[in-house]
Structures are given as C-alpha cells and as structure tokens.
Amino acid sequence: MVGAFGAALCAMVARITAAGARYASVRPDAEAIVALADALRERFAAARLTDESAYQRVVYASALPKTTDDEKRERTAKLQAALAGAAEAPLAAAGMAAEGLALARRAEALGNTHLVSDVECARAFLWAALEASAANVRINHRFMHDAELVRAQDERLLAILAAARGTQIAGEG
C-alpha cells in the first residue's frame, strides 16, 4: 500500500501540472505520467492481495501434520513451494517500486516547483516499498532449500535495487 501511495502522489503531481497553463509544454508528458502512475497504483493494490495469498499458503503449509515420514515430506514440499511464492510476490512488488521511482523522476522533471515536496514524499514512499519488499524476499530465502531458485530471485532483486539506486541518484542532481 505504501507503493500505491507513492504512485498516487506521482499521478497527483502530474495531474496538477497538466492542468496548469504555465506547464502547457509538458502537458503530454504529464498526462502520460498520470496514466502510468494510475496503472501502477492499481497494480500495487492487486499486489497486496497476491502477497497476502502467498503468505497464507506458507501459514497453511506450516500447519500441516508432520507425524509420519510421508507427512513430513508432503509438508516440506508444500512449504518450500509456498515459500517460493512468498518470495516471488514481494519481488514483483520491488520491481513495481523501482518503476515508481522512475515515474517520480519523470514527475520531478515536469518542473512544477510548487510540488517538489510531493515528489519527495512519493520517492520516500516508493523507496520504503522497495526496501520492505526486499526484506520480505530475503526472509523467505532464509528458509528455502532450492539454492538455484534463491540465487535467481536474488539476482533479480539485486538488479531491481541497482536500477532503483540509479534512479535515486539521477533524481538527486
């Protein structure tokens, strides 16, 4: 939801800017940002449900019986599959947060100096969403046994973080 707030702020900045006569030259860019930010906000809202569902599968698998060897094997298999999904959901959200940071950069480039703090707030929300998502990916990785899957997800996460950091650095100048 924090990422959705960041995306909503990007859309707000772009909407206000698009409506201003003194920003007519950037109106097409502003309108494009509105569309992208609104869609991102909706994707974040849907991601919340995906994440909740993924974690619920971990809770369910953790509660499976483990009295017999067969039960232990079945529980382990279901728990490992659930953990993979529980890592994938915040990994996807991390990617959305990085997209949002790029949108915040674009919103800033519109040049509306009256809305600088709103862009800063959007960045803060989106960065918080990214960091929280990364933490959730990594905690699930601690319990996963499939080293190859952990490595692949971690590589994707590192790429997302690197891209987001590049966006942050670009936005600070």
For 100-140, the pLDDT digits (tens) are 999 999 999 999 999 999 999 999 999 999 999 999 999 99
**pTM, 2 dp:** 0.91
Place of tokens 């909407």: 15
**Least confidently predicted of 25-39, 82-96, 154-168:** 154-168
pLDDT at position 166 is 86
- The domains located in the chain, with CATH, are 2-171 (1.20.120.680)
Calpha distance 62→65 (Å, rounded)? 8
Calpha distance 112→90 (Å, rounded)? 32
pLDDT at position 168 is 59
Calpha distance 97→100 (Å, rounded)? 5
Helices (H), the chain: 2-19, 27-62, 69-109, 116-141, 147-171
Calpha distance 140→61 (Å, rounded)? 14
Calpha distance 102→171 (Å, rounded)? 9
